[in-house]
Amino acid sequence: MAPATLTSTDPVLAEFAADIGADGPIAVAGGRTRWELGGALADGTRVVAAPTGIVEYIPDEMTVTVRAGTTVAELHRTLAERGQRTGLPDRGGTVGGALAVGENDLRALGRGPVRNALLQIRYVSADGRIVSSGGPTVKNVSGFDLPRLMVGSLGTLGMLGEAILRTNPIPPHARWLAAEGVDPGEVHEVLLAPSAILWDGETTWVQLEGHAADVDAQRLVLDGLGSFRTVDLDDSDALPVELPANRWSCTPAEAAGFGTGVGADAGRFVAAVGLGLVFAERPQPPRVLAPAAAVVSERLKQNFDPTGRCNPGRVVGGR
């Protein structure tokens, strides 16, 4: 579905667009939990607050319309009242921040990648217009998939104001298991649908979700690989291990062997096997985009933000 320029009847989005305007370097702040990702903002950049609030929630349609400054925690509390959730990671940040960073939840094997959660966006373009793209159902999305392009763009293509997200049911049963000396790659291969596989070089943690019979059946498969024990957690949505501070992005194969090749000097780490997502004690070294990717990135930037006013200083895919 092609993007459409709107004259917004929503006073909140209209005010957001007026704050952004059409001139001068601009950035939007949410929870600032990933504020330095991609590099520091250029001096003189004006920062505005993202709008907040849940606009519309339709549990039967499994969609929710939410403004970008709403925290993921608030959104998930509301959805949980109807037994639903989204694929966005809840690590203290906002909906807009989670989409702009494009960081998958560590349980994305079960919840799906963050890009799949986004159905429609409304954002303010570099020239100050409110633009809408996508549709409230998957069947309505055709042509150029602008919402997915915005995921992970670090706000360099436009200022996200509102999103329609796909929700999904919270499984009736969830269980974390752990074992030492078990190959996490082998766990990934033999399990039908784990929600998460975490690994720190010694311990492998696995989250199983679903109906009780399915969880029990997958537990039997794990018992064929090693001595897995149940990890008791007070909060069913909590993680069984504390994450180091620095996020690394790599391929799924690199995550499964992290610390032996890639990340040999990363210090303590926790890798999400199957996702290419790692949290490590030390920051990831600067990366350089492949030449072809750099060309595509530059052309997109020129088309969406020819004056370079959106989040100047940020570099997608690098530092």
Own/partner pairs, 183-187, CB within 8 angstroms, 24+ separation: 183/225, 184/256, 184/271, 184/273, 185/256, 185/257, 185/273, 186/225, 187/222, 187/225, 187/273
Question: What is the band of 33 on the pLDDT scale with cuts at 50, 70, 90?
Answer: confident
Residue 1 predicted with pLDDT over 80? no
Q: Confidence band (pLDDT; 50, 70, 90) for 45?
A: very high
DSSP H or E segment with residue 193: none
Q: What is the DSSP letter of 28?
A: E
Provide the percentage of residues in the chain whose pLDDT is more than 70.
93
7 band by pLDDT with thresholds 50, 70 and 90:
very low
- pLDDT category at 5 given cuts 50, 70, 90 is low
Positive or negative, the CA dihedral 259, 264, 269, 275 is negative
82 token code pair: 């109807």
**Looking at per-residue confidence, does 296 or 177 come out higher?**
177
Q: Which two tokens stand for residue 52?
A: 């907040």
Lowest average pLDDT, out of 6-10, 38-42, 132-136, 210-214, goes to: 6-10
pLDDT at 211: 94
Give the C-alpha distances (Å, rounded to integers) separating 128 from 47, 120, 151, 209, 306.
15, 19, 20, 44, 13
Kindly report whether the global pTM for this prediction surpasses the value 0.85: yes
pLDDT at 234: 78
Cβ proximity of 189 and 253 under 8 Å: no
Q: Residue 106 is which amino acid?
A: L
| The most confident of 63-77, 108-122, 127-141, 142-156, by mean pLDDT | 63-77
Q: Are 24 and 48 in contact (CB under 8 A)?
A: no
